[in-house]
Amino acid sequence: MSRQAISTAIGLMLLAAAAGCSVHPIRLDTIEYAHFDETRPREVRAEECGALIFLVPFRMNSQLIRVQRTLATHAPDSVLTDVRVEQSWIWLGLGDIVCTEVSATAYPKLP
């Protein structure tokens, strides 16, 4: 393989890795501060994973968006408080798996 081909391949892998390092921000709060029933709290959690194999991202950028959708499914019409975010990494040798877990206390909104 020529030196130029190797340089091009390394450049493409670095570009893919840079694209995999960006994350879409999410908002877990509501714009209006709704009244909620403080007597009925419950814990909700969601976890989503992605992978970075040979510097190529798979489902990495959308992890937080998928977590937000799962939380909305588990706690519809609720106000989330005490939000906790935990991230774990598993090294595979040729890449790694990154999992993001979000847990929160959900209170039902009052009408």
Q: How many CA atoms lie within 13 A of 37 on its CB side?
A: 10
What lies within 8 Å, CB to CB, of 82 at 6+ separation is 104, 105
Tokens linked to 71: 């939380």
Q: In whole angstroms, what is the distance from residue 81 CA to residue 104 CA?
A: 6
Which pTM value belongs to this model? 0.69
Note the pLDDT tens digit of each residue in 32-75.
666 888 899 999 999 999 998 887 888 888 888 899 899 989 99
